Structure 1
Amino acid sequence: MDAQSQRDQDLLARIGVAEIERRDRRRQRRDFRIALLFMAPALLMVCGLLLAPVAFNIYLSLTNWRKFTGLDEFIGVTNYQRMFGNPFFGEALFNTAIWVVASIVFPIAVGLGLAMFLRNVRFSNTFKNIIFIPRILAPTAVGVLWFYVYAPQGLLNRGLSMVSGQNVDIGWLYQSNTVTPAIIATFVWQTVGLVMVLILLGLQAIPRDPIEAAQIDGASRFQTFRHVILPLLTPTLLVVTILSVLAGFTVFDLLWVMGASYPGQRSLSLAVYMYFEAFQKGSWAFGSAVAVIIGLVVLCVTWIQALLQQRVDRMVR
């Protein structure tokens, strides 16, 4: 037994195990109070700016408050019953599902294609900067810009007229079968730059050894991409999917600027429906109920994605 072990044994014999455990508990409580003191400003900000407004919004959805004159009587789940019985809510929910799917499929597909193409191309940085520029623009400005592109006498119709040799006068944002694809194309144009950058970072993190081994074994480019690159890129794609889902649920600027005459339009989403009911019609409590539903849906989707993230992490390891 060395000298340190002998001193430990002497200390245990002198003060006892129970006293050492009490000292450890006192030290842990002291460390916790010190850590809580340092975290107090952040906890106050989270409670004041996040938790308290969420709790107030939930309570507000259970009242019949319509104006900034104070809370009226408690009415329970009446707003939720009214919401689920409103046909515009079903339309907004369906359109939001379309937006979520579109915000996942198209930006990821286009961003992945651009990332693979620009990985080993000359002047790739120039092309990357050009593709990323729309991301730094405000969504409202992008909506106004593309509103004039899609106008009956806008750039798109003029270009189609020049190509076809006939006068094209399509109201892209005024027809139910074209307004959603038009706004989705604008959304993809703005967000694909960020998706491309994230995927490029994921590609750079992939080790070269598995790719070189597949090439030595005679695998084609497509086989290498499908069986080597894509599985190793799955964690990055999952992160991009999470960001895309959140963007699909909360998209508002483009829909509000480029659409018109809500509700009843094909581009009506839950976020737009909430804003229309609360700020246009003055039904603040009803709008709060819509916001609660949006939050619950986002939490459920995020929980499912967290489970998928854990499964992917186990597969990669």
Structure 2
Amino acid sequence: MAGSNLPEEHTEDTPFTRGFPQLEMVSLANPFGAGYLWYVPTVGSTMDLARELAGAGAPPGTVVLAGAQTRGRGRPSSGKSPWISPPGQSLSMTLILDADVTPAPLSLRAGLGVCRYIEEVWHLPARIKWPNDIYLAGRKVGGILVESEKNRMYLGIGVNLLGSVRLSSPGPGRSGTDPEAISLEEARGLFPRPATRTSTEIPGEASEGGSDETLDETSRRGPDTASAHRLSVPYLTAQVVQPILTYLFEAQHDRKWLAGVGFRLLYKNEGVTIGVHTGVFRGLSGDGAARLEVGPNREILVRSGSLRPRS
């Protein structure tokens, strides 16, 4: 896990970044290989930028981090507008991976890693909404996006960290706040906060410990991120990106990933609709497909689509 020492920013470039003068190199303890990440203050999509860098020669393990994202792909909680990441409020990153050595299903394993980060660092009970959304208190806090091209895979991760999540296009008569989304900071206020932890604790300063797949301790107070420096580039790198990469790496190599994901599934054993199919969500198959009971003794596997609770 990352310690409390924050990494330094650098201006050094590499052959594949010489056409991208807006990028800053930041040192990074990265279990996927590259010892740095590339930071850009504002970008349309970190996925698009990562593809460009890979095309220019960026190796697997390369991380692209954005301070703000204006045209992110993925599914916002409303499902009808681009994923917007305002400056200083969220995590927007993409990790480049070698498709030949990346275990499947990447999106669910990544979701498990992000959940463990939220549970063990923020002490909040995260859930996975199949196939690639992260939820807290019944509201979306983050999302996973996986794309592939030739021998590369691109893992995009977005997490709402601070403040209230705003709608990108509120529309007539609608509030600017998204009622179906939540930030980690907001979610922390919904759970009890014992006085045994101080308000100065931040990610990376809490005691470490392995996941035992129970959430008995997840209602404790999470890290304090109120002061302005908390979402600086060094802070995001050392206290958000590095630990998330650690949990992602562990999840990629976890032989019990299916049990870990299954334990956190939202709407399991409840009536749901996935695309054109309606039934009872019974969990996952060995390869991550949704098991949908559509009749007496009749179960089908659904491999794609948006899951929603049956009204």
TM-score interval w.r.t. the shorter chain?
under 0.3
Higher relative contact order structure (alpha carbons within 8 Å, sequence separation ≥ 6): 1
Structure-2-length-normalised TM-score = 0.22
Larger Rg, first or second structure (1 or 2) = 1
More strand by share: 2
Structure-1-length-normalised TM-score = 0.21
More helix by share: 1
